[in-house]
Chains A and B, each alone.
Chain A
Amino acid sequence: MRRIMVGVKRVVDYNVRVRVKPDNTGVVTEGVKMSINPFDEIALEEALRIKEKGLADEVLAVGIGPADAQQQLRTALAMGADRAILVQTDATVPPLSVARIFRQLIDKEQPLLVLLGKQAIDDDNGQAPQMLAALWDRPQAVSCSKVEIADGKATVTREVDAGLEVLEVDLPAVLSVDLRLNEPRYVKLPDIMKAKKKPLDTMSLGDFGVSEAPAFRTVRVEPPPQRSKGVMVKDVAELVDALKKKGLV
C-alpha cells in the first residue's frame, strides 16, 4: 500500500490575537478558537491531491495532543484522510519527541511520503520535519511550494531566502510544506457525517517510550515589548520633513 503520513497539530487559530497569562506561565488558550495548524492543512491537502492523482492509496493523519485534538483529526478525515491516529497527551511534546513518535509510526506504517507543515504557528519551532528526516536517515525538503511525484522520486520546489530552489529526492522522504503549495479545500457537510465512521485510533506517549518531561524548562512567557505610540502626519511634506529631522533620508 502506497501510504502518505500527514501531521495534524491542534493550535490556536491563526486569527486569534493571543494574550499572555498574567502569571507568565504561558498564553491564554481557554475559550479560544482552536484549528488545524494552517501549514498542516496544506500538507493534508497535498496528500489528498497526490492520492486523487492515483499516486498513493491511503492518507493517514497523525496528531499528538489532548483528547480534544480529535476534533482536528475528524476535520482531517472529513477533508478526505482515510484514517487517523491520535497520540493522546496533555503535555507539550517537544519537536524531537514528535520526531521520535513519527519515526516509530513509520516502522509500522511504511509510508511512501511524510508530509508535515513547515512550522506550527503556536511555538514557531519549525524543527520536527528535519528531525524526523535525520532520525529516519532519509531526504528532507523544507518549505515546499511545489511537489511532483514520479518514478520513486519527488521533485520539489522550495522557498528559500534567495528565491526558489529545486531538489530531487528519493522516496521515501519527509517534505515540509509552505503556504503557496496549494489552497486547502473546504469541508462539506456530508463529508463530516462520513468522517464519523472513519477509524480514529488513540495511543499514548507510553506506547512510544517517550516521557512527558519537557526537554527545556519554560522560565517565563511575557508579552513582547510595545512600540511607543507614533505620530500621524497630514501630508507628504510633513512626512518628508519628519524623516529628514530623524536623518533617515
Chain B
Amino acid sequence: MSKILIVAEHDGARLNASTSKCVSCAAKIPGASVDVLVLAVDGAAVAAQAAALAGVSRVLVAENAANVEPLAAVLAPQLAKLAAGYTHVFGPSTTFGKDLMPRVAALLGVGQVTDIMAVEGAHSFKRPIYAGNAVLTVEVPADATVVATVRVASFEAAPQGGSAAIEKVDVSSVALPSHTRFVSRSGATTGRPDLQSATRVVAGGRALGSADGFKIIYSLADRMGAAVGASRAAVDAGYVPNDLQIGQTGKIIAPELYIAIGISGAIQHMTGIKDARTIVAINKDGEAPIFEAADIGLVGDLFAIVPEIEKQLGG
C-alpha cells in the first residue's frame, strides 16, 4: 500500500492552495493513505486547515524556530528524516516545492519526478517536457521512494470536510545549517486575486507598449474580478513585476477563463495556459500563434477593444 507524505506550503498562517492540489494528486493513487507535514514555528493554524482537507489521514506538525522562512536547506533535512516509512513524498510544483523537493530527493539518494500532470499508477506518472510540447510517461522503480512535485494546474483542489488527526513530531535531533539566511521578501500585495488560483485571468503582452499602457489590463481585470498576468516579453520590458509572468519559466495556470491581450503566443507562454478552460485572444496580428489555441479570437486594436469590453460588460 502507498503511504504518501505531502509537505505543506504556507506562510505561517495560511495553507497555500497548492497543498490541496497535491492531496488531490495523491488521492489518484489507489489505496493510498495521505499525510500532510507542516514545518513551521507555530503550526497550529496551518495544521487545522490541512486537517480539514478531505482525504488527509494525519497532519504532522514539526515546530522549530528555524522554520520561520521556507529555506530549502533548513527544511530539507527535516523532511528527509520524516520521509522514513513513506513510499511517496510530494510537494507542489511552485517556487517553494521546486526549491525544496530536489534537495530532499538527493538527501534520500533517489531521483525526482518533476511536474506530475497525471497519475498512471503508484509508480507511473505523466509529466510535460520541452515546454509542454511532449508528454512523458515515466516509471519509477518499485523499490525507490517516489519524490515528486505536483503540477498544481493539473489537479482540482481537494474538497473540505476532512477531520484528520493532528500530531506533533519531534525532529529537533536533525542538524540544521546556518549557511543560508533570509534577508527580505518584496511582493505585490495588490488586493487582486492570486494568479495561480484565480478562476479568471486577464494577461497582457509586449503590445501594451509601457507600464502605463498596461493600466487598461488592470482596469479590465478589476471589472471582471480577475487576476492579472503577463507574457515574459512584458515582464522583461519592465511593464509589470516578475511574479505576473505566465509560461514555461513563470507560472502555470488553469483558470476557467483566460484572456490574452497583445500576446503573440510563443510556445513558452502557451505551456503556461493550455489547461485554461476557455482561452480568449485579442491581437492586432491575425496570424499570431495564440489564435491556434484560442477558443475565441478577436483581431484588432487592443487599445480600442479593451475599454470597449469593459464598457459592454456594464457596471
Interface residues of A (CB under 8 A from B): 12, 14, 17-18, 20, 27, 94-96, 99, 118-119, 121-135, 137-143, 145, 155, 158-170, 173, 178-180, 215-224, 227, 230-240, 242-243, 246, 248-249
- Is the Cβ of A134 less than 8 Å from the Cβ of B139? no
From known contacts A131-B105, A232-B298, A240-B309, infer whether A163 and B187 are also in contact, taking CB-CB under 8 Å. Answer: yes
Q: Are A121 and B242 in contact (CB under 8 A)?
A: no
Nearest B-chain residue to A238, judged by Cβ = B298
Q: Are A236 and B308 in contact (CB under 8 A)?
A: yes
The verdict on A170 contacting B179 (CB below 8 Å), with A12-B130, A161-B243, A163-B243 known, is: yes
Q: Please give the residue numbers on chain B whose beta carbons come within 8 Å of chain A beta carbons, in ascending order.
A: 71-73, 76, 94-96, 98-107, 109-115, 120, 124, 128-141, 177, 179-188, 196, 200, 224, 232, 235-236, 241-243, 248-249, 251, 256-257, 267-268, 274, 278-280, 291, 293-300, 305, 308-309, 312-313
Which chain B residue has the least Cβ–Cβ distance from A139? B180
Contact B113 A233 (CB under 8 A): no
Residues on A with beta carbons closer than 8 Å to the beta carbon of B136: 218, 220-221
Q: Can you name the residue of chain B whose Cβ is closest to the Cβ of A155?
A: B183
Q: Please state if B185 and A164 are interface contacts (CB–CB under 8 Å).
A: yes
A129 to B232, CA, bound (A): 23
Given A163-B243, A231-B295, the answer on whether A127 and B308 have CB atoms closer than 8 Å is no
In the complex the two chains form, is B242's CB within 8 Å of A135's CB?
no
Query: Is B76 a contact partner of A134 (Cβ separation < 8 A)?
Result: yes
Residue of A nearest to B109 (CB): A96
In the complex, the answer to whether B177 meets A137 with C-beta atoms within 8 Å is yes
**A215-B111 in contact (CB<8A):** yes
Q: List 25 A-B contacts (CB under 8 A).
A: A20-B134, A124-B115, A132-B106, A139-B73, A142-B95, A158-B95, A160-B185, A160-B243, A166-B183, A167-B181, A167-B182, A168-B181, A173-B179, A180-B235, A215-B110, A216-B113, A216-B138, A224-B135, A231-B297, A232-B296, A236-B298, A236-B305, A238-B298, A240-B313, A248-B257
How many angstroms between the C-alpha atoms of A161 and B312 in the bound complex?
33
CB distance B187 to A167 under 8 Å?
Answer: no
Question: Which residues from A are CB-within-8-Å of B184?
Answer: 165-166
Task: Report whether B114 and A163 are in contact in the complex, using a CB–CB cutoff of 8 Å.
Answer: no
| Interchain CB contact under 8 A, B111 and A240 | no
- Contact in complex: A122, B224 (CB < 8 Å): no
Are B102 and A130 in contact, with the CB atoms below 8 A? yes
Q: Are B183 and A163 within 8 A (Cβ)?
A: no
Judge whether B134 and A222 touch: CB under 8 Å.
Answer: yes
B309 and A169: CB pair below 8 A? no
Option from A17, A124, A140 in Cβ contact (under 8 Å) with B248: A124
Known contacts A131-B103, A216-B140, A219-B139; A138 and B278 CB within 8 A of each other = no
In the complex, chain B residues whose CB is within 8 Å of the CB of A180: 235-236, 242
Residue of A18, A160, A243 touching B280 (CB-CB under 8 A): A243
Complex Cα gap A189–B312 (Å): 57
* Residues from chain A with Cβ under 8 Å of B104 in the complex: 134
Residue in contact with B242 in the complex, picked from A163, A221, A223, CB distance below 8 Å: A163
Bound Cα distance from A166 to B179, whole angstroms: 14
A219 near B124: Cβ-Cβ < 8 Å:
yes
Contacts of B120 in A (CB 8 A): 219
With A95-B102, A125-B114, A170-B179 as known contacts, state yes or no: A222 contacts B139, CB within 8 Å.
Answer: no
Q: Which of A130, A168, A243 is close to B296, meaning CB atoms less than 8 Å apart?
A: A243
- What's the Cα separation between A21 and B248 when bound, in Å? 22
The reply to whether B130 and A122 form a contact with Cβ atoms under 8 Å apart is: yes
* A121-B70 Cα distance, complex, nearest whole Å: 26
Residue contact B103 to A164, C-beta cutoff 8 Å: no
Q: In the bound complex, do residue A233 and residue B257 qualify as a contact, i.e. CB atoms below 8 Å apart?
A: no
